[in-house]
Amino acid sequence: MTEESILILNMLREGKVTADQADSLLRAVRETGSVSPASAPTTPPPPPTPDPAVMASMQAKLAELQGKLGELQGKLGAAQAAKSAGQAAILAGKVLDHIPRPDLDMGRINKAVDDAMRGLNSLKNDALRTARNAGRQASEEARKAAREGRKAFKFDFGYEFRQEHSDERPVNDSGQPEANEAGQSVVTWSGADRLQLENNYGRIKITGSPTATASAEAKFTKTAWAETEAAARVLLQQVFVTHQVENGCCKIGIAAPLDARDRLTVDYEITVPSGLPLEVNSTFGEITAQNGSGVFSAKSVSGPISVTQPVGEGTAKLTTVSGNVGISEWNLPGSMIFVETQSGNVLAESLTGASFQLSSRSGDVTARKTQAVTQAKFESASGDVTVTESSAGSQIQIRTQSGQAALESSRAPQIQVETVSGDAELREVSGALTVKTVSGDIEAAGIESPAVSLLTVSGDARWEFAAPFSGSFAGTTVSGDLHLVLGVDPDVRIEMNTTNGNIALSVPVTEAVLTEHHAAGKSGAGTGSIRLQSVSGDLKLI
C-alpha cells in the first residue's frame, strides 16, 4: 500500500473526509499505477513521467477536499463560539435575575460602574446606596399605585354592588304615567318599650319629642308608575303603613306588592318620644334621626344615615354598605358609638361619648371636635383618616392601609397612628406617641410629647418638637431617612447608629463620640434620651 493510500485511509478514520471522498482519492491513486514488489527490478528505474491529465485531476480533487476541510473547521469554530456565547448569556441571565430591576437610567449605571471600579470600598458603598435609592423609588411608585387603586376600588365596588343587588332608589326613566298620594296613618305603640321601623321603598325621617305619647301620626308620600295612570293608581291602593306590638316591640313597616319594587317609592316620617329606643332599617332610602333616642340602631344598604342631637345615653350602632354616615351634635358622655360602612364615607362632628369606633373599608373617615371619655378609634382600609380638634381620656387610635392619616390639634395620654403605604401627618399633637409606617412618609410639627416611638421601613420621617425636648424618643428605620428638629436647648442624651447610612449631628453636645456610622453625646443635663438607628437610611439631628 502506497503512502498516499495510507494517508487517505487515516484521513477517513479521523473523519476528515467522507467515504465517497476517500474512494475517489484511492481510485485516483490507483490510476497513476503502482509497481508490484514481486516484479520490481533490482535497480530502481528512472521515475516515470507523470501523466499531466491525471495530475491535474488529482490536484483538483485535493483542492476540493481542502476547501471542504476548511469549511468544516469554520463551522466547528463558529459552533464552539456560539456555545460559549450561549453559556455566557445564561450565566449573565442568572446573575441578573438576582438584581433588583427598577426603572434604570443606563447612563447613570455606566457612570456608577466606572466610578465603582476605582476601589473596592467605594464599590460597596455605592452599591448599597444605589439599592436604597432604588427601593425608595419603588416604594413611591407603590404608594402612587395604591392611591390610584383606591380610587378605582371605590368606583368598581359601587358599580358591582348596584349591578348585583339593584339597591338604588328606583327612577321612572321611561317616563311612564305616574300617580302620587300623600297621607297620614295613626301608629299606636301602647305597651311597647322600643320601636322598630323598616322601609325598603324609600326614606325614613324620625323626630324625637320630649312628650311621652302612646301614638303618633305617620306621614307618608307614595309615588307609583305603570303603563297607564289607572294602573299606577291601583298600585297605590295596595300600599299601606303597618304596625303591630309584639313582645314589647312596636314594629312599623310598609306593605306593598313584591313585584312593585322597581316602580314604587314610599317616603315617611314620624315623631316619637325621645326616650324610646329605636331600630331603623332601610335599603336605598335615607335614614334621618333628630332628637331621637341615644339607644339607636340603623342599618342601610345604599342609603345614607344622618343622626343629630340624640337624647338619652346608650349604645348606638350605625351600619351601611355604600351609604355615607354623618353624626353631629352628639353630647352623651355615657354613650358608646359604633359606625361601620364599606364604601361610604364617615363624618363625625361635635361628638362626645364614652367611647367610639368609626370605620370604613374604602371610604374616608373624618372627625372634628370629638371627645371620648376613654378611647376613640378611627379606621379605614384604603380611605383617608383625618382627625382634628379631638381628645380622648385614654387613647386615640388611627389606622389606615393605603390612605393618608392626619391628626391635628388633638391630645390624649396615648396616641397611635399606623399606615402601610399611606403618609402620616401630625400637627400640634400632645401625648405619648407611637407612629408606624411601612413605605409611607411621616411629617410631624408642633409635637408636645413625653415619649415617642417611631418605626418605618422605607418611608422618610421629619419630626419637629414644639418646645425644647427632654423626653424619650426612639426612632428606627430600614432605608428611610430620619430628620429630627429638637428646638433650642434640648435636655437629652443622644445615640445615633447606622449600618450604611450617613449621620449628621448639628446639636451642640458634650461627651461627644463621633465615627462614620455612630454618634453619641449629651445636650444639657441629659435628662431625656434620643436613640436613632437605621440600616441604610440617613440620620439627621438639629
Flag whether pLDDT at 449 surpasses 60. yes
Flag whether pLDDT at 412 surpasses 60. yes
> Could you tell me the three cell numbers for 185?
296613618
Q: How far apart are CA 243 and CA 191, in angstroms?
A: 13
User: Hey, where are the domains in the chain?
Assistant: 1-30+52-73, 107-165, 171-320
Q: How far apart are CA 438 and CA 419, in angstroms?
A: 7
Mean pLDDT of 342-363: 96
Mean pLDDT of 406-415: 98
pLDDT at residue 329 in the model: 96
Q: What is the pLDDT of residues 166-186, one digit of tens each?
A: 468 899 999 999 999 999 989
Flag whether pLDDT at 150 surpasses 60. no
Which amino acid is residue 458, in one-letter code? S
Flag whether pLDDT at 160 surpasses 50. no
pLDDT at residue 11 in the model: 74
List the helix and strand counts (H, then E) for the chain: 6, 34
Using alpha carbons, select from 236, 132, 130, 218 the residue that is nearest to residue 181: 236
Q: How far apart are CA 373 and CA 427, in angstroms?
A: 22
Residue 394: HSE in the Cβ half-sphere, 13 Å Cα cutoff: 9
Q: How far apart are CA 367 and CA 385, in angstroms?
A: 8
Task: Write out the DSSP string of 314-326.
Answer: SEEEEEESSS-EE
Flag whether pLDDT at 502 surpasses 60. yes
Per the DSSP assignment, residues forming a β-bridge with 451 are 472
Q: How far apart are CA 377 and CA 391, in angstroms?
A: 11
pLDDT at residue 100 in the model: 42
Flag whether pLDDT at 163 surpasses 60. no
pLDDT at residue 234 in the model: 94
Q: Where does the pLDDT of residue 373 fall: very low under 50, low under 70, confident under 90, or very high at 90 and above?
A: very high
Q: How far apart are CA 292 and CA 335, in angstroms?
A: 14
Strand ranges for 20-68 from DSSP E:
none
pLDDT at residue 67 in the model: 55
Q: How far apart are CA 490 and CA 467, in angstroms?
A: 8
Which amino acid is residue 243, in one-letter code? H
Q: How far apart are CA 304 and CA 345, in angstroms?
A: 9
- Range name among 130-134, 310-314, 454-458, 525-529 with the lowest pLDDT average: 130-134
Q: Where does the pLDDT of residue 540 fall: very low under 50, low under 70, confident under 90, or very high at 90 and above?
A: very high
Q: How far apart are CA 438 and CA 136, in angstroms?
A: 11
Q: Where does the pLDDT of residue 3 fall: very low under 50, low under 70, confident under 90, or very high at 90 and above?
A: low
pLDDT at residue 390 in the model: 97
Which amino acid is residue 501, in one-letter code? G
pLDDT at residue 200 in the model: 92
Strand ranges for 68-226 from DSSP E:
178-188, 194-199, 204-209, 215-225
pLDDT at residue 487 in the model: 78
pLDDT at residue 101 in the model: 38
User: Considering the chain, what is the average pLDDT of its residues?
Assistant: 81
Q: How far apart are CA 389 and CA 367, in angstroms?
A: 8
> Could you tell me the three cell numbers for 407?
391628626
- Greatest mean pLDDT among 36-40, 154-158, 496-500 lies in 496-500
Q: What is the pLDDT of residues 65-108, one digit of tens each?
A: 555 555 555 555 544 544 444 444 344 344 334 434 334 444 55
Is pTM beyond 0.85 here? no
Mean pLDDT of 465-488: 92
Q: How far apart are CA 539 and CA 462, in angstroms?
A: 10
CA-CA-CA-CA dihedral for 192, 195, 196, 201, to nearest 10: 120
Task: Residue 157: count other Cβ atoms within 10 Å of its Cβ.
Answer: 18
CA angle 456, 461, 464 (to 5 degrees): 135
Q: Phi first, then psi: what are they for 79, rounded to 5°?
A: -60, -45
pLDDT at residue 228 in the model: 95
Per the DSSP assignment, residues forming a β-bridge with 297 are 279, 317
> Could you tell me the three cell numbers for 324?
355615607
Q: How far apart are CA 241 and CA 370, in angstroms?
A: 38
Q: How far apart are CA 375 and CA 353, in angstroms?
A: 9
> Could you tell me the three cell numbers for 395?
387613647
Cβ–Cβ under 8 Å, residues 325 and 346: yes
Mean pLDDT of 247-260: 92
Flag whether pLDDT at 496 surpasses 80. yes
Per the DSSP assignment, residues forming a β-bridge with 468 are none
Cβ–Cβ under 8 Å, residues 351 and 327: yes
Q: Where does the pLDDT of residue 467 fall: very low under 50, low under 70, confident under 90, or very high at 90 and above?
A: confident
Q: How far apart are CA 306 and CA 9, in angstroms?
A: 105
DSSP class of residue 174 equals T
Q: What is the pLDDT of residues 356-369, one digit of tens each?
A: 999 999 999 999 99
pLDDT at residue 418 in the model: 97
pLDDT at residue 456 in the model: 96
pLDDT at residue 104 in the model: 40
